[in-house]
A and B are shown apart, each in its own frame.
Chain A
Amino acid sequence: MNFEMPNFALALPEIFVLCMACIVLLADLFIGERNRFITYLMAQATLVGAMVLTLGLSSSEVQYTFGGSFVRDTMGDVLKAFIYLSTLIVFVYSRDYMRARQLFNGEYFVLGLFGVLGMMVMVSAHSLLTLYLGLELLSLCLYAMVALQRDSIAATEAAMKYFVLGSLASGMLLYGMSMLYGVTGSLDIGEIGAYVAQNVGHNLVLAFAVVFVVVGLAFKLGAVPFHMWAPDVYHGASTNVTIYIGTAPKIAAFAMVMRLLVDGLGGLHVEWQGMLVMLAILSMAIGNIIAIAQSNLKRMLAYSTIAHVGFLLVGVLAGTENGYASAMFYIIIYALMGLGGFGMIMLLSRAGFEADRLEDFKGLNERSPWFAFIMMILMISMAGIPVSAGFWAKLAVLQAVVRADMVWLAVVAVIFSVIGAFYYLRIVKLMYFDKPEDTAPIEPAFDMRIVLSANGLAVLALGIFPGALSVLCVEAMK
């Protein structure tokens, strides 16, 4: 038995975030109520530092460490970079919002950082155990964050639901993983992949394992019929938590899909393709149709997320490098749009007032033409109308599925996107065609104003020049 010293350098970003999260936790104990912004700044510095480390370590080759249970590759680097970026934006949006509600606690940032660590581990996992570890670390942080607002009945209920259903899904995933281990005799995703590729014949246990793994993944992504938690959690949690749940973890969940289904079970593509087709169609249908009936914007965005996940799965199920790259492109752009959408709710909210009903957007064009314009960009982008990033995301996914010779699925997808366009347009209608009911001035903090504008303009800019990001995604999948 020989012991090999693992190469810690590859996991430097993870180690850094872990240390910093602990330091922030300790420091926060000694920071008084008035100086809480120091906690905030430390959290942001952590994210920036992690970004620097990740970009500094990136190279085009694939590197393994910790006995093959940890991997560093281009896809991981890109996804991590966007996880830091979206968490950073979430923290910017949250600061003022939390302060106005007496929620400005250090715990939010500490949990957020540990959640980021969990996501990073998920992204870099190359063994079933590492993957599960990352997933649980993230999930526990999310449950706790939802429950942070402990006096709110809705938040407590949401946290309970999330916890119970989330544990169930984790159980399913774990059960699937145990079957995989039973059949292949390995926890290493590379070895599992090799085994599956060699033994292509039908294996009942393996088929069952795929089913359980897909169920677990679908739950974490929030795909129909495993979506029930999403609307309640999105609605019940305070918006600074919802925006966190709705963005970066989706990127991590996509990484998990790539690691498990593609790297691990790629040989069983035929088996899981059929399941993903069902999940995708159902998600697009239920997500888009039920979103129409929502009067609460947070719930509407929850259903819209479900529909977007359906689109994402369309890219994944194509089963080609092109399809995976498209799906990655989609999830990154989705995260940007989600940030903007929830950011707008936080922008219009103020102490004692939550702008999460559709009516709260009435006449926004008269109150603030600029932010109405930003919201319009976000909405048309979510609907997939050019010129916006969302259009290219849909185009990428659709061309992948057409290339996989599934034109019919592309037709189904576009029909549902027309249905989806209705409720996004309704927001545009409320902002531009209706008279405002709420005439309170919109006075966001300076940094929020800048970041939210940049967020919206980024969606527009990516709509005009999508080339660089899409090249990046294609490179990441090579």
Chain B
Amino acid sequence: MFSDFPLLSLVIWLPIIGGLLVLAAGKNDVLVRWLALLFSSLTFLASLPLYTGFDNGTYRMQFVEEASWVPTFNINYSLGIDGISMPLILLTTFTTVLVVIAGWEVIQRRVSQYMAAFLIMEGLMVGVFCALDAVLFYVFWEFMLLPMFLIIGIWGGQRRVYAALKFFLYTFLGSVLLLVAILYLYFQSDSFSILDFHDMQIGMNAQIALFFAFLIAFAVKVPMWPVHTWLPDAHVEAPTGGSVILAAIMLKLGAYGFVRFMLPITPDASHELDWLIILLSLIAVVYIALVALVQEDMKKLIAYSSISHMGFVTLGFFVVFNIFDKTNSVAGAAMGVEGALVQMISHGFVSGALFLCVGVMYDRMHSRNISDYGGVVHTMPVFSALMVFFAMANAGLPGTSGFVGEFMVILAAFKANFWVAVLASTTLVLGAAYTLWMVKRVIFGKVANPQVAELKDLNAREALVLGSLAVMVLLLGLWPAPLIDVMHASVGHLLEQAVSSKL
């Protein structure tokens, strides 16, 4: 029923147009907020048919749109989604609504620019997830840096300028290499279509060069150890909304790049060098978790925990080659990739929620230091219940969404290699350690600080935001089947591509 309607374009451009309108509304803060809420909600509603109208049975791109853009270089405005990108688009539209609500009273300075930046970002992020033309992908991918740069730099904390520049230059360096890789593929195939890239024959040396270009571009965004250092700075200095979007969606863009570009375009190089990614992922899982343990700053702790969790995602993507070598079937390997994808969605909810929790406390106390808190449960019981719940999800408690993804990836890792699985499993211990220890020091204990004694519990707005996230975390944890069904066919096709040689 939606086959002719340009639904994807609507979901991309509606928030961008909304953002421009919000900018035009200018100084009238009340109008700005309601406009932003209106457009983000409309976008969310517009994105729902992507789920209801989605055909689970095929791996082919759906809701496809195609138009010529720059004929000289054969660049097309071509959009389409499969089971991998569709859930991420819904995550984006859902999170943006929450971010708009979360910034309602908190942001008092240049409200219209703040809201506009988030709305425009939303459109651009959706654009990245559905672009099927490499240049279109790159344009969305790169342009997104600018609003985020402004968000961190204008509304951020003390060292915001340093963090904003670091964020921008790190990711820009990564993405220009992606551009060269795309141009090389264009030179070989005379097309910028990502699907054409998937079908190309590429020699091993070229594949390895492309592999490293992709790796640098996407690893910075994920971020993987050792190029992760921009993330803690950016997270700590960004305003709450910025942190949420960064953690919930922008990190997923890097992981999405791995499945859209790296595995299908350079399968042989990925097969050859999968040990490298597995190694980097394990370092992220174990070492970064240890780093998280010693953080004094709550936002920094959650930022490091994000890196550690994203290590699981990349691990899930790249254990498949080992499983395939051992079992010679892609069926067993599918669990790794599906686990990683579930982990991406779940991490979007959980890390977003945790950053919002920190934001709630920060708005009241203007401190992110763990040592300034203690005994919050005595004054904010509802908030504390929710925060403990999200902390449990972050630690991977069964019944929450955090468990599903991690469990699937660890199971897949056991099929691949026992020791990899053992190292990956340490996250269950370490993750619990750093999260619960933080919760213990912040939420429980005696009321150490007179300011804590005067805290007020959640207002309706905050309760709505955190409550809806809690529902999603619980729902996904108890009944992940709808999500996994959606991605099954696409993951199967992805693995077919990943294990068939292109030499």
B208 at the interface (CB under 8 A from A): no
- Indicate whether A421 sits within 8 Å of B172 (C-beta atoms), given known contacts A386-B138, A429-B161, A470-B72: yes
B residues 68-88 in Cβ contact with A at 8 Å? 68-73
Contact status B143-A418, CB under 8 Å: no
B139 within 8 A of partner (CB)? yes
- Evaluate contact between A403 and B179: CB separation under 8 angstroms: no
Within 386-430 of A, Cβ neighbours of B (below 8 Å) are at 386-387, 391-392, 395-396, 398-399, 402-403, 407, 410-411, 414-415, 417-418, 421-422, 425-426, 428-429
> What number of B residues sit within 8 Å (CB to CB) of A?
34
Q: A386-B138, A402-B180, A415-B176 are in contact. Are A433 and B187 (CB under 8 A)?
A: no
The complex places the Cα of A474 from the Cα of B70 at a distance, in Å, of 12
Q: How many A-B residue contacts, CB cutoff 8 Å?
A: 89
The answer, yes or no, to whether A23 is at the interface (CB within 8 Å) is no
Q: Is A466 an interface residue (CB 8 A)?
A: yes
Interface hits, A364-403 → B, CB 8 Å: 365, 369, 380, 385-387, 391-392, 395-396, 398-399, 402-403
| A443–B153 CA distance with the chains assembled, in angstroms | 28
CB distance from A331 to the nearest CB of B (A): 16
A414 adjacent to B179 (CB under 8 Å): yes
Q: Which residues of B from 136 to 181 have beta carbons under 8 Å from A?
A: 138-139, 142-143, 145-146, 149-150, 153-154, 160-161, 164-165, 168-169, 172-173, 176-177, 179-180
List, in ascending order, chain A residues with CB within 8 A of B187's CB: 399, 402-403
Residues of chain A contacted by B149 (CB below 8 angstroms) = 425, 428
Q: How far is the CB of B463 from chain A (nearest CB, A)?
A: 33
Q: Is the CB of A386 within 8 A of B143?
A: yes
A385/B71 in contact, CB under 8 A: no
Q: Does A342 contact B (CB under 8 A)?
A: no
Q: Is the CB of A387 within 8 A of B143?
A: yes
Interface of A is mostly: helix
In the bound complex, residues from chain A placing their C-beta under 8 Å from that of B179 are 395, 398, 414
Are B180 and A380 within 8 A (Cβ)? no
A395-B135, A403-B187, A467-B71 known; A432-B153 Cβ under 8 A: yes
A27 within 8 A of B: no
Q: Do residues B184 and A402 form an inter-chain contact, with CB atoms below 8 A? A: yes
Contact of A351 with B by CB under 8 A = no
Name the CB-closest residue of B to A433: B153
Judge whether B161 and A433 touch: CB under 8 Å: yes
- Residues of chain A contacted by B146 (CB below 8 angstroms): 380, 385
Interface presence of A471 (CB below 8 A):
yes
* Shortest distance between the CB of A475 and any CB in chain B (Å): 10
- Residue of B71, B172, B176 near A471 (CB, 8 A) is B71
Q: Which chain A residue shows the least CB distance to B72?
A: A470
User: In this assembly, does B17 line the interface, its C-beta being within 8 Å of a C-beta of chain A?
Assistant: no
Bound complex: CA A433 to CA B164 (Å): 10
Tell yes or no: B186 within 8 A of A by CB. Answer: yes
Residues of A within 8 A of B38 (CB): none
The CB with the most chain B CB atoms within 10 A, among A380, A386, A396, A432, is that of A386
Q: Are A385 and B143 in contact (CB under 8 A)?
A: yes
The reply to whether B73 and A407 contact each other, CB–CB distance below 8 Å, is no
Chain B residues with CB under 8 A of A395: 73, 135, 179, 183
Contacts of A474 in B (CB 8 A): 72
| A418-B176 in contact (CB<8A) | yes
A415 to B174, CA, bound (A): 10
Complex CA distance for A426 and B149, rounded to whole angstroms: 11
Tell me if B153 and A429 are in contact (CB < 8 A).
Answer: yes
Question: Nearest B residue to A405 by beta-carbon distance?
Answer: B187
Interface positions of A from 296 to 353, Cβ below 8 Å from B: 325
Contacts of A429 in B (CB 8 A): 153, 161, 164-165
Mark contacts of B58-100 with chain A using CB atoms, 8 A cut-off: 1 yes-contact digit, 0 otherwise: 0000000000111111000000000000000000000000000
A417 to B150, CA, bound (A): 20
**Do B161 and A467 have beta carbons less than 8 Å apart?**
no
Q: Across the two chains, which residue of chain B brings its CB closest to A322?
A: B72
Partner of B73, one of A365, A399, A426, A428: A399
Contacts of B164 in A (CB 8 A): 429, 433
Q: Are the CB atoms of A385 and B165 closer together than 8 Å? A: no
> A407, B143: Cβ atoms under 8 Å?
no
Interface string of A426-457 (1 = CB under 8 A from B): 10110011000000000000000000000000
Of all chain A residues, which has the CB nearest B170? A418
Contact present for B73 and A396 (CB under 8 Å): yes
If A380-B146, A386-B138, A403-B187 touch, whether A421 touches B180 (CB-CB below 8 Å) is no
- Cβ A425 vs Cβ B177 within 8 A: no
- State whether A470 touches B180 (Cβ < 8 A): no
Which chain A residue lies CB-closest to B150? A432
Measured between beta carbons, the chain B residues less than 8 angstroms from A432 are 150, 153-154
Shortest C-beta distance, A284 to chain B (Å), equals: 13
> A392-B70, A399-B183 are known contacts. Are A385 and B154 too (CB-CB below 8 A)?
no
Docked CA distance A391–B176 (Å): 11
CA distance A103 to B359 in the complex (A): 56
Bound CA span A418–B169, Å: 7
Cβ of B214 to closest chain A Cβ, rounded Å:
14
For B183, what are the chain A residues with a Cβ–Cβ distance below 8 Å? Answer: 395, 398-399, 402, 410
Q: What chain A residues lie within 8 Å of B145 (beta carbons)?
A: 385
Closest to A472 in B: B72
- Docked Cα-Cα span, A402 to B188, in Å, equals 10
Out of A402, A415, A421, A467, which one reaches B168, CB within 8 Å? A421
A428: chain B residues within 8 A (beta carbon)? 149-150
> Using Cβ atoms and an 8 Å threshold, which residues of chain A touch B184?
402, 407
In the complex, chain B residues whose CB is within 8 Å of the CB of A385: 142-143, 145-146, 172
Residue of A nearest to B139 (CB): A386
Task: List chain B positions with a Cβ less than 8 A from chain A.
Answer: 68-73, 113, 135, 138-139, 142-143, 145-146, 149-150, 153-154, 160-161, 164-165, 168-169, 172-173, 176-177, 179-180, 183-184, 186-187
* 17 A-B pairs (CB sep. < 8 Å): A365-B113, A385-B143, A385-B145, A385-B146, A386-B139, A386-B142, A395-B135, A395-B179, A402-B187, A407-B184, A414-B176, A414-B177, A418-B169, A418-B173, A422-B165, A432-B150, A432-B153
Contacts A433-B153, A467-B70 supplied; 12 other A-B pairs, CB < 8 Å: A325-B72, A386-B139, A386-B143, A399-B187, A402-B187, A414-B176, A422-B169, A425-B165, A425-B168, A467-B68, A470-B70, A470-B72
- Which 3 A-B residue pairs are closest in the complex by CB-CB distance? A414-B176, A386-B139, A470-B72
